[in-house]
Chain A
Amino acid sequence: MTHLNPIVLFFYFAAAAGISMFSMNPVIQIFSLAGALSFFFLRNAGKRTGMHLPLFLLALLAALLNPLFQHNGATVLFVLNGNPVTKEACIYGAVTALMLLATLYWFRSFSELMTSDKILYLFGRISPKIALLLSMAMRYIPLFGAQLKKTAQTQKAMGYFKEDNAMDRIRGYMRVFSVTVTWALESGIVTADSMEARGYGEGKRSSFAVFRFYRKDGFYLMLIGALFLISVYGLATEAVAFQYYPTFGAQAPSFISTLTYIAYIMLAFLPTAAEAGEKIKWKYLQSKI
């Protein structure tokens, strides 16, 4: 999955998370969450364990909030402060919580896979100028960090500021910051002049990228596109529509709804399958050594 072209990766996450965000279908939400979780844990088994609790708490909050603020629905469970709490709103809240959690985990994987160079490549396809701006800004961040440190050390070595009282420290760091900003702006101008001297702005801009579009990318793009279209068709024709208010109800299962569910399940578990396949291949090749 990591080695695919960024366009394919972006399209995949847009399709998987987009359908999940668009539909309030509980079945799709469950499979979306299952797909997102399995992919995330396959890649990060035992790592970053501290991040899960806040996400689940947020989802719990969403599940609780909806019945408190939404009073539609026919089945009143109990009355709280004069407002009815309905069964339908509770179900809706639970589905929202699933959706939320699924989206969050899709985005976690998204930010893990779509590193800044890949985002840059995508922007480069849209607008080379934006890509240039982004890449320059990203290069400046560590540069400024280093320069800040250098300036602070120099100033300290020259005895310009002590760290023993707060006011002096703040003033000292402000001066360091100010010096660095001036340096950054000036060196930026030097960069610009150097760019111009080498012919920037002459002719069309292109942006370099290490990513190429292989046959494998085309295969994945077509597969994802087909699954996406089937799912969207099922959603658009309301074959998988769920009704929440006033009473909870589902459409009778049909050929199209089954097809939609199968397509979405395949879509949701595609990265897990691809990743697992690669791991098995790796183990197999290792065992041959």
Chain B
Amino acid sequence: MIVIRNASARRILRMVLPFVLIPAIVALGIFAVESQYHTLVSFLVAVCSILLFLCGFEKKKIGSRRLVIVAVMIALSVVGRMFPIIKPVTAFAVLSGMFLGSEAGFLVGSFSALISNFYFGQGPWTPFQMLAWGLIGFFAGILAFPLKRSRLFLYFYGILAAVLFSLLMDVWSAVWLAGEFLPSLYVAKLLTSLPHTALYAVSNVIFLILFAKPFSEKLGRIKIKYGV
């Protein structure tokens, strides 16, 4: 574990993880091992992908101001997850990705999942939540320009994020419940979680409507005032 402090080891990991290890695990899951091992395969893929992002984070030089702002955003979204029923975690991940870059979006999404699960209960689902929320923030960073320009596209992205979250999490819950991947069970799981997804999409849009303007002002102000 200590090896990753070494810069060259990290560079190798960054190449090995996405191009060798993750495809190898997936291929192994499809062709080599029997269907009963799908739970472990999907679990390993989730852990590896998170590791990949963390390697990149350590390598890049991130200013201390930026680091603290990311920590602040994580804390805010964890506090927000304590609200009943509707959860603003996605909105915070999206806004961080938009205004602070895709890496910040990934960190805010994934660490909000990790830290808030100290309160809600850690489980084998934690890496999946981390990955799902992290990716939502990450893609928001990539799409930052159109997201900032069009408010409508931002709300659409909020809905899309809810659908993506549900698609990814249901892969996990279907595999976990059955111990193997059954397409019919996956579809059934998607259908039964439809009300949940809808609620999630609505809450994403609500929070984006509420937060988009104030956060763009606040983060923009911080950026100009302190040059983050």
Contacts and interface: CB of A to CB of B under 8 A. Distances in A.
A166 interface: no
A251 interface: no
Interface in B199-228: 210, 214-215, 218-219, 222, 226, 228
21 contacts: A21-B43, A69-B178, A96-B179, A100-B177, A104-B123, A116-B118, A126-B54, A129-B62, A133-B111, A137-B74, A137-B75, A140-B75, A148-B79, A184-B76, A185-B219, A185-B222, A186-B222, A189-B226, A192-B63, A193-B65, A195-B64
B156 interface: no
A7 to B, nearest CB: 8
B182 A192 contact: no
Contact of B179 (A24, A108, A137, A145): A24
B1 interface: yes
A4 interface: no
Interface residues of A, number: 63
A265 to B, nearest CB: 21
A201 B64 CA distance: 8
Majority-rule SS of B interface residues: helix
Contacts of B36: 24, 244
Interface residues on B, range: 35 or more
Given A125-B2, A127-B4, A137 B122 contact: no
A125 B78 contact: no
Interface string A243-286: 01000000000000000000000000000000000000000000
Point out which of B5, B68, B78, B210 has the most chain A C-beta atoms below 10 A from its C-beta.
B68
A96 B178 CA distance: 6
A21 B72 contact: no
A174 B78 CA distance: 17
Contacts of B40: 18, 21-22
B70 interface: yes
Contacts of A7: 1
B121 interface: yes
Contact of A133 (B71, B76, B118, B219): B71
Interface string A34-63: 000000000000000000000000000110
A185 B107 CA distance: 17
B122 A107 contact: yes
The 4 A-B residue pairs with the shortest CB-CB distance, nearest first, are: A140-B75, A136-B71, A137-B74, A96-B179
Given A65-B185, A69-B182, A140 B122 contact: no
Given A111-B121, A178-B214, A192 B76 contact: no
B2 A144 contact: no
A99 B175 CA distance: 12
A139 B133 CA distance: 22
Contacts of A61: 177
A151 interface: no
Contact of A137 (B54, B64, B115, B226): B115
B140 to A, nearest CB: 18
Interface in A98-150: 99-100, 103-104, 107-108, 110-111, 114, 116, 119, 122, 125-130, 132-134, 136-138, 140-141, 143-145, 148
Majority-rule SS of A interface residues: helix
Contacts of B123: 104, 107, 111
A92 interface: yes
Interface of B: 1-2, 4-5, 36-37, 39-40, 43, 54, 57-58, 62-65, 67-72, 74-76, 78-79, 107, 111, 114-115, 117-118, 121-124, 176-180, 182, 184-185, 188, 210, 214-215, 218-219, 222, 226, 228
B178 A111 contact: no
Contacts of A24: 36, 179
A263 to B, nearest CB: 19
Contact of B72 (A126, A134, A138, A185): A185
Interface string A1-25: 0000001000000000110011010
B171 to A, nearest CB: 15
B172 to A, nearest CB: 12
Given A69-B178, A141-B75, A184-B75, A130 B54 contact: yes
A129 to B, nearest CB: 6
A200 interface: yes
A269 B39 CA distance: 24
Point out which of A18, A96, A104 has the most chain B C-beta atoms below 10 A from its C-beta.
A96
